[in-house]
Amino acid sequence: MSNDSFDGLVPLREIVSNFDLAAQKSLGQNFLMDMNLTYRIARTAGDLSKINVIEIGPGPGGLTRAILKCGAKKVISIERDERCIDALRYISDEFPDRFQLIHGDALEQDIIKLAPAPRRIMANLPYNVATPLLISWLKRAKEFEGMTLMFQKEVADRLVAKPRTKAYGRLSVMTGWLCEVKCEFNIDPKAFTPAPKVISTVVTLKPRAQPLASASWNAMEHVVATAFGQRRKMLRQSLKPLELDLASLGISETSRAEELEVEDFAKLARAFAEKT
């Protein structure tokens, strides 16, 4: 179980109790208290010695200190909760040149501007904003050397889902189009305070040098959203608003969104973009 003083810094439980960091549900706060796991997540990212890490939501700093102790060149953490800003002074004191803390909402930050390349995003994401954050990063996937992110398992399953499965949907297509995705390991709810109701999964995303197929972000997003908006309907129905000649694109009108590969969606997106 947790042995949170093993890295020579103040035990994590002391930080939480000294700064009265009772978790706030509205901020998606489930603090990872098992330092064996925070170090395991940090090590999953490989050699970080030349990498600027951008961390979302450091909370009391369990993952932050692990990333720093594992040798990241620099860590820039964005945290919304003012209580954590005060609590994290112990990390600024320990790593004055390699740690920068930003008080703000990660949804409103242009994180590219925060650090030069090579940059990597690492986070135990607040579950309530995990998907919009990921979408905003996917749009600029090439700006990142990689991402090491923790999601609810159900979201991680959607990221790696293949066609003809229940979990396959918008998130699977947009992510698979731009990144190679790997589920690394699951984390039991008991490792967190408070324990969430669901299992969490650590995921690695590696941006592809080139997307799986060419298409613009906006057209791809529109086509994919339209198709999965009515996922049980045949494409001739669900894609009707796009007014595309599916047969001429080699796509069966009687198939459903969940049967299409990423390349099929890209083909539809290119045809849609040409028309508009």
Residues 6+ apart with CB under 8 A from 120: 45, 48, 51, 52, 53, 54, 144, 145, 146, 147, 148
Q: How many residues bind ligand SAM (CB under 6 A)?
A: 23
CB atoms within 10 A of CB 131: 16
Buried b (16+ CB within 10 A) or exposed e, 241-259: ebebebeeeebeeeebbbe
Our measurement of the distance from residue 218's CA atom to the centroid of its chain's CA atoms, rounded to an integer in Å, reads 20
Assess 2 for contact with ligand SAM (CB under 6 A): no
Provide the residue type at 116 as one letter: P
Q: Which of these ranges, 1-9, 99-107, 214-222, 256-264, lies near ligand SAM under the rule CB under 6 A?
A: 99-107
Least CB distance from residue 235 to ligand SAM, whole Å? Answer: 36
Instruction: Give the β-pairing of 52-56 and 119-124.
Output: parallel
User: Considering the complex, what minimum distance in angstroms separates the CB of residue 163 from ligand SAM?
Assistant: 31
Rounded to a whole number of angstroms, the minimum distance from the CB of residue 179 to ligand SAM is: 22
- Interface with ligand SAM includes 32 (CB under 6 A)? yes
CB of 251 to ligand SAM, least distance (A): 39
Q: Which stretch binds ligand SAM (CB under 6 A): 21-29, 179-187, 237-245, 257-265?
A: 21-29
According to the binding rule CB under 6 A, does residue 78 interact with ligand SAM? yes
Element (H, E) at 135: helix 130-138
Question: Of 106, 178, 219, 262, which lies in the binding site for ligand SAM, with binding defined by CB under 6 A?
Answer: 106
- Whether omega before 194 lies within 30 degrees of 0, making that bond cis, reads yes
- The 8-class DSSP code of residue 28 comes to T
Instruction: For residue 31, state whether it binds ligand SAM (rule: CB under 6 A).
Output: yes
Given a contact cutoff of 8 angstroms between Cβ atoms, the answer to whether 124 and 165 are in contact is no
**What x/- string results for residues 127 through 166 when contact with ligand SAM is judged by CB under 6 A?**
--x-------------------------------------
Closer to ligand SAM at the Cβ: 82 or 243?
Answer: 82
Residue 137 corresponds to which tokens in the numbers above? 């990063």
175 binds ligand SAM (CB under 6 A): no
Minimum CB distance to ligand SAM smaller for 64 or for 175:
64
Report if residue 42 touches ligand SAM, rule: CB under 6 A: no
Does the footprint of ligand SAM cover residue 176 (CB under 6 A)? Answer: no
Nearest to 75 by CA among 83, 62, 179, 13: 62
28 binds ligand SAM (CB under 6 A): yes
The position carrying tokens 């028309």 is: 275
Rule CB under 6 A: choose which of 124, 148, 172, 238 binds ligand SAM. 124
Beta strands in the chain (DSSP E): 31-32, 52-56, 74-79, 99-103, 119-124, 146-152, 179-187, 192-193, 200-207
Task: Compare residues 42 and 173 and give the one whose CB is closer to ligand SAM.
Answer: 42
Q: Which residues bind ligand SAM (CB under 6 A)?
A: 27-32, 56-59, 62-63, 78-81, 84, 105-107, 124, 126, 129
